[in-house]
A and B are shown apart, each in its own frame.
Chain A
Amino acid sequence: MLEQFFPNVKWDRMWEATTETLYMTSISVIATFILGIILGLLLFLTSKGNIWENKPINTIISAIVNIFRSIPFILLIVLLIPFTKLIVGSMIGENAALPALIIGAAPFYARMVEIGLREIDKGVIEAAKSMGAKTSTIILKVLLPESMPALVSGITVTAISLVSFTAMAGVIGAGGLGNLAYLEGFQRGRFDVTLMATVVILVIVFIIQFVGDYITTKLDKR
């Protein structure tokens, strides 16, 4: 039945490409989550009226974040080729896509983290201070738990962007479903392969969205 509609799809190749996409997405999501939270915290804490208020540092981080967030992803990959070669040693394969994926997504996520942190009631931070909490305690026990639903819904949106970023990275040699759809589907004129790769990507996106929404509602006790 499937062979009839998708005569050119090689299922073992499709599966392989799917695992490559999942690999790139999951590693980059984890790294983006960590890096984005660190950057987001720095943006928040150094902003006006907060614990580490520091205008120069805030301006610098903010500028870096804005620049990297504004570069179109396809150009970011190209611009990062020398950097990727330096740290990964190659510009072909799934690992070669990771630096660009993380550098492209982390600033985007950092802004969402910052927004999430801003929504925390200032009074709660003041209460923690009045109890004699250290800054590290305030970060780990107040800021992060109190903004967790926003952090999770933010990483869900970012993860979905990252799936489409991996497809773009695939086109210029990073492997995965994008690579398969482009090389085996588009360039050889096999429309069914492109279509099937798209369906698989859609399924991945739907699963991410569903899981993200589920966790967000579970976490939110407000």
Chain B
Amino acid sequence: MISIKNVQKIYASKQGQVKAVDDVNIEITEGEIFGVIGYSGAGKSTLIRMLNGLEIPSDGTITVANRVVSKIKGRSLRQARQEISMIFQHFNLLWSRTVKENIAFPLEIAGIDKAERTNRVNELIKLVGLEGRENAYPSELSGGQKQRVGIARALANNPKVLLCDEATSALDPQTTDSILDLLVDINKRLGLTIVLITHEMHVIQKICHRVAVMEAGRIVELGSVLEVFKNPQQPITKRFVQQVTEPEETKETADHLIERFPKGKIVQLTFVGEATEQPLITNLIRHHEVTVNILQGKINQTQNGSYGTLFVHLDGDIKEITRAIEYIRSQLVGVEVLTNA
């Protein structure tokens, strides 16, 4: 569906040339929800803007739905853009138009006649759950409702690809989740390919199938979300994964416990997929002479399976602890012994 090959984007600035996007290669399949995560300035915004020709790559080829968007111009680019729609962090609605009129705008651009426009707008309003707000102006809507208008507007011309530019970054956590649910729903119902960029790992974890981690214009890591969560390679990826798996307090609690219990070991267990469902702790206590103290735990659902972390304190005979850790390893659960930082 989308193919990004050897893409570069170089900007000339006063300090010389800046490589915003540096030799990026990604293949995205039809119906996939693909996430790109990175801090601001990583080049993800430039990358997503090249997918609909808002930015032209300095080098390389981008193909979306069989159109080489990095080469086409004028009318064919405008037509391609009707198949590759976009939603934005700040919604970018026209304040001078009502909800209905905002959603009708892309249909006007596509030259659809009035009667058909009205029908389609009503359908879209139902799809995104904005019944009763048709005649409101954007200034009268909440952030979540504005993004729903943005999504309805983006879906108006039955696109093949939806690009989400930090679409939930301006929303509170609860609204973020409802918008993400809506995106998953659309993806499943319409088979729409979704590409999103974000700096929140929570977004990736909740809806993406695959993720690319971007740093300084390069893709430093790419894989299925579960795989990346289970086994992050790069330091930056580890930091992103920690955003959702390891809240700040855990680190403090662990440090505190290491001080309090110089004996024994603090262990971080990582469960992926089916491992989350076995009675590991029960077995551990039954088979080994150790005291197990659960400090903190969390299970995260991703689009391709669940992922959990558990922090426990193991106390007892040092040999027994070593054997217990070996046992946990044998159960295909990740183990990391924490030491005082």
Contact = CB atoms under 8 A, between A and B. Distances in A.
Q: Report whether chain A binds chain B.
A: yes
Interface of A: 121, 123-124, 126-134, 137, 141-142, 145-146, 148, 219, 221-222
Most-contacted residue by chain B among A132, A137, A145, A219 (CB, 10 A)? A132
Contact of A127 (B78, B82, B92, B157): B92
B337 to A, nearest CB: 49
Given A123-B88, A221-B139, A129 B94 contact: no
Interface in B73-101: 77-82, 85-86, 88, 90, 92-97
A124 B94 CA distance: 7
A38 B86 CA distance: 30
A180 B276 CA distance: 94
A131 B109 contact: yes
B52 interface: yes
B92 A121 contact: yes
Contacts of B88: 123, 126-127
Given A126-B92, A148-B96, A132 B81 contact: yes
24 contacts: A123-B92, A124-B92, A126-B54, A126-B88, A128-B105, A130-B81, A131-B81, A131-B157, A132-B77, A132-B78, A132-B82, A132-B110, A133-B78, A134-B78, A134-B109, A137-B108, A141-B108, A145-B96, A146-B95, A219-B96, A221-B95, A221-B138, A221-B139, A222-B95
B39 interface: no
Nearest to B74: A134
A129 B81 contact: yes
B54 A133 contact: no
A222 B94 contact: no
Contacts of A126: 54, 88, 92
B94 A132 contact: no
Contacts of B82: 131-132
Interface of B: 52, 54, 77-82, 85-86, 88, 90, 92-97, 105-106, 108-110, 137-139, 153, 157, 163
B109 A130 contact: no
B52 A130 contact: yes
Contacts of A132: 77-82, 106, 109-110
A131 B105 contact: yes
Nearest to A131: B106
B96 A130 contact: no
Q: Which 5 A-B pairs have the closest CB atoms?
A: A132-B81, A127-B92, A132-B78, A123-B92, A221-B137
Nearest to B79: A132
A145 B109 contact: no
A79 to B, nearest CB: 40
Contacts of B54: 126, 129-130
Contacts of A123: 88, 90, 92
Given A130-B86, A131-B85, A133-B109, A142 B79 contact: no
Given A123-B90, A132-B82, A221 B109 contact: no
A137 B109 contact: yes
A137 B96 CA distance: 15
Contacts of B78: 132-134
B294 to A, nearest CB: 47
A148 B97 CA distance: 12
B94 A146 contact: yes
A104 B66 CA distance: 54
Contacts of B96: 145-146, 148, 219, 221
A142 B95 contact: no
A128 B95 CA distance: 13
B281 to A, nearest CB: 51
